[in-house]
Amino acid sequence: MNASVQGALRSYSDAEILGMIDEKAGVYNPKIYTDESLYKLELERIFARTWVCMGHESQIAKPGDFITAYIGEDPVVVSRQKDGSIRVFLNQCRHRGMRICRADSGNAKAFTCTYHGWAYNQGGELVSVPMEQEAFGGCLNKKEWGPKQARVDTYKGLIFANWDAEAPSLDEYLGEAKFYMDIMLDRCEGGTEAVPGIQKWVIPCNWKFAAEQFASDAYHAGTTSHLSGIMAGVPDDVDLSQVAPPTTGLNVHMSNGHGCGLFLRNPMFYMTILGPKVTEYLTAGPAYEEATRRLGKSRTDVHLCHCNIFPNLSFLAGINTVRMWQPRGPNEIEVWTFTVVDKTAPAEIKEEWSRNVSRTFSAGGVFEQDDGENWCDIQQVLKGHVAQQQKFNIEMASHTITTENPEGFPGISFAYTYGEESARGMYRYWTQIMTAPDWPSIREIKPLPVAAE
């Protein structure tokens, strides 16, 4: 057995995991998408140690409001307290382990396990045990039997939770990514609100296909995958030479495994996805001016930023679809998505925004189906023994990478929309956090890419 074995049963040594991406050769090992033992290690070393998104504060606006969510495969209750604070606790009764709350969302004074009736208050404290005096003889100390509580923090409306007491603060963990999150979350004084409802569906693919694509992959959008969807959104009277897929932009790798890419100064791309009304709202007039005052012109002229906050929170700033890729084994995910809008946007704009996100990025969205089809097809191919032995190419822009950053944006950028430094950064971080025994050693991980050294 390897000396570093801790927790989950290990099939791979640290050296083997670290070797799963070879940046110098520009290849990586697709077993990271299919191997059961690596998946179990991901639950332990990634999902149980990093800040994972729970949803948006507006989804639990009032005291007693709750949603149920997941940290990896661990179900949790996210509950607004009387004092306005938020608690996140494991959705597991301490008696026999049944789910304490079986609803997706609601407002509750208490959560009662439906098996034997142990009941917990809004904060997750055990308040009632049936037949406590008669059956337990008054010997049960209820204070000790509440469900496990997670650390909770928020960033501009998004709620995050973390099981690990040693992990850095959310603010430190998000780091450079906040600069890009603000493009979506901080355009106006009032911040954002979530369009009611979380869409949830199941597709057979590994969570990292989705996370990596949002972190790094603009390539699929402008090459083949989404062209029919783009064509469908182009108004009839538009000259097609004016809707060339954007190539002015960045591919950005950040610390802690986060990544993003963005298109600059190309509002026509918004037009094909969000339609003329929302495009105008985002690119001209008082809302644009307020956003420019808050974010600076270089950021308000970002026309779409695709981003993944490691491990599994993705968003498209501008389009404002937010998604959590809930892992369900190496071969399946639940996709959970909701849309955020500027709180102070006119009702008509919010409606138009929501409608166009549904048209493009929802269970039936024209782009969503392209993405799901690609990820699921790769996963199916990887059932093949020979297919699993092949190495995938991940060398794009590795020969031309530079730490120079023409826009002055944070992170390590490559000044072209199509690049894979952000993907390499994410997978490199994946190998590093998977082999790091604790947060002091995770903190020592250096974000600098091999190619830039």
Partner 1 sequence: MAWTKAFPSADLPEGEMKQFAGAAEPILICKLGGKVHAVQDTCTHDTWSLADGFLEDGIVECSLHFAKFCVRTGQVKALPACDALKVFPAKIENDFIYIDC
Q: What is the DSSP letter of 306?
A: E
Q: Are 88 and 123 in contact (CB under 8 A)?
A: no
8 A C-beta contact, residue 382 and residue 33:
yes
Under 8 Å between Cβ of 407 and 236: no
296: left (phi over 0), alpha (psi -120 to 50) or beta: left
> How near is the Cβ of 135 to partner 1 at its closest, in Å?
13
Considering beta carbons, is residue 5 or 110 the nearer one to partner 1?
110
- The Cα 256–Cα 177 span in angstroms is 9
To the query of whether residue 306 is one of the catalytic residues in this protein, the response is no
Q: Which of 217, 303, 306, 370 is catalytic?
A: 217
Of 43 and 98, nearer to partner 1 (C-beta) is 98
385 is catalytic: no
SS (H, E, C) 108-162: CCEEECCCCCCEEECCCCEEECCCHHHHHCCCCCHHHHCCCECEEEEECCEEEEE
DSSP state string for 190-258: T-EEEPS--EEEEESS-HHHHHHHHHH--HHHHSSTTHHHHHHHS-TT--GGG-PPP--EEEEE-GGG-
Residue closest to 411 by CA, chosen among 293, 266, 310: 310
- Judged by DSSP in three states, 72 sits in coil
Residues with Cβ within 8 Å of residue 91, at least 6 apart in sequence = 68, 75, 76, 77, 99, 100, 101, 147
Nearer to partner 1, 115 or 381 (CB): 115
Q: Starting from the edge strand earliest in sequence, which strands make up the sheet with 27-28, in order?
A: 21-22, 27-28, 392-393
How far is Cα 434 from Cα 38, in angstroms, rounded to an integer? 9
Q: Among 285, 255, 274, which residue's Cα sits nearest to residue 320?
A: 274
Rounded CA-CA distance 117/130 in Å is 6
**Minimum CB distance to partner 1, residue 110 (Å):** 6
* Residue whose CB is less far from partner 1, 105 or 405: 105
Name the residue nearer to partner 1 (CB basis): 108 or 445: 108
Is 171 noted as a catalytic residue in this protein? no
Residue owning tokens 């949830």: 200
Q: Out of 226, 258, 303, 306, pick the active-site residue.
A: 226
With left for phi above 0 and alpha for psi between -120 and 50, is residue 422 left, alpha or beta? Answer: alpha
- Give the separation between CA 418 and CA 397, rounded to whole angstroms: 8
Distance (Å, whole) CA 85 – CA 447: 34
Cβ 117 to partner 1 shortest distance, Å: 5
Instruction: Walk across the sheet containing 74-80 and list its strands.
Output: 86-90, 74-80, 65-71, 105-107
**Closest CB 119 distance from partner 1, rounded Å:** 5
Nearer to partner 1, 24 or 109 (CB): 109
301 annotated active-site: no
Kindly state the smallest distance separating residue 141's Cβ from partner 1, in Å: 17
Provide, rounded to whole angstroms, the least separation between the CB of residue 63 and partner 1.
Answer: 12
Specify the residue, 129 or 363, whose C-beta has the smaller distance to partner 1.
Answer: 129
Q: Among residues 109 and 385, whose Cβ is nearest to partner 1?
A: 109
| Residues in the chain, overall count | 453
State the residues that interact with partner 1 by CB under 8 A: 108-110, 112, 117, 119, 128, 130
Cβ closest to partner 1, residue 95 vs residue 156: 95
Verify whether residue 399 is a known catalytic residue: no
- Which residues carry out catalysis? 116, 217, 220, 226, 371
